[in-house]
Amino acid sequence: MNLRIPVKYLRVSLILSLAISLTIHFSLMAEFLLKGRPGHHEEELTLTFVAFELLTTTLLAIVIFNLNYFYFTPYEIHKKLNFKKVASSFLATTLTVALLIFLFIHLKDMFHFRMNPRRHVDELVSRNLFCAAIVLISVFVYRLLQRQQMIELEMEKLRSESLQSQFESLKNQVSPHFLFNSLTALNALIGESPGMARQYVSHLSQVLRYTLQSKRKQVITLEEELEFTESYLFLLKMRYDVNLKVTANIAGEFRLWNLPPLTIQTLVENAVKHNEISDAFPFEIIITTIGNGVLRVANRIQEKLSPEEGTGTGLVNLSKLFILLGGRDVQIYKTDSEFIVEVPLIKP
């Protein structure tokens, strides 16, 4: 068993002991201040006598506080408070109070305080037992408060760890989806143009390097994401040539704001996957910043005759990431002719 009492508990016990002593002896101090009238005490109320009473009661409270620390262990919430500990606490407290009362009586004899021995002993016993009872209740309440506080801290820690786990899980679901689509495009290029396929592989390696590096970060700046998007768009334009156009109009004030890595890539990929892009149907994606830190990605709807199969989790996962990181959700608007996604940038 650890016999060291934390300094924090010692400070609390000292303050509470003094407060309990002052409360118990409030009437005694009031009588002393009224020119030392004997009242019902029958003792001569000198400054020494009043100070002695305050000091001994405070000392008794401190002793009982620190004695019961080892029974109630207020900072160790995982140790249960059973009947055996409570009974042992009451027994130890009672014996300690009895020994201290015996000591206080002899000390009063040494100071030659004038008093009624029979009445004074009865009062001393009842007063100090009352003081001990208040201390026991205080220790128990203090333990409950500490237990509640520590439980709340542990719950907050678990919540934080859970959010981090959810974040990593969601982020890891974005990268495989991107890799799958990239390899599908590469497979088509290998048969059509081996030389272009080699260039594609070179740029794909740069994109994948960025993807792996970004997995270690929760957020990146919009500036970094735009630089990555340029590399990613090179891969797309290798496939769609002039039929795909991406226009970006980003306000300078938002370039250092944050967002989860691969956000723009996910939105661009989603638009490309669900729309027809050909000589007959050229396709444009417009990326802009609006309002109070909102990134908007919009495109005209050109639905494919044969839609590509997908898991349908890209935008859902992206939405969850933004909620976990900033508490604001992704907004999606769809009309007959236009599809718009607005993501809330995170202010640094």
First-residue to last-residue Cα distance in the chain = 48
pLDDT of residue 308: 64
Mode of pairing for the β-strands spanning 220-221 and 283-290: unpaired
Q: Write the DSSP string, 50-113.
A: HHHHHHHHHHHHHHHHHHHHHHH-TT-TTS---HHHHHHHHHHHHHHHHHHHHHHHHHHHHHT-
CB 268 within 8 A of CB 285: yes
Query: Which H helix or E strand runs over 320?
Result: helix 314-326
Write out the two tokens for 326.
């900033």
The DSSP letter of residue 243 is G
The domain defined by 193-344 folds into: Heat Shock Protein 90 (3.30.565)
Residue 9: closest CA among 130, 136, 146, 118: 146
The rounded distance, in Å, linking the Cα atoms of 22 and 86 is 27
CA distances from 201 to 182, 195, 224, 235 (A): 10, 10, 22, 9
pLDDT of residue 307: 65
| 3-state secondary structure (DSSP) of residue 246 | strand
CB 200 within 8 A of CB 186: yes
Distance of CA 126 to the CA centre of its chain: 47
pLDDT, tens digit, for every residue of 180-191?
767 777 777 787
pLDDT of residue 310: 56
The rounded distance, in Å, linking the Cα atoms of 103 and 16 is 22
pLDDT of residue 260: 84
pLDDT of residue 18: 94
**Model-level pTM?**
0.50
| Residues in the chain, pLDDT under 50 | 38-41, 173-174
CA distances from 268 to 130, 207, 223, 296, 305 (A): 75, 15, 16, 11, 20
Delimit the domains of the chain by residue range: 7-157, 193-344
The rounded distance, in Å, linking the Cα atoms of 319 and 329 is 6
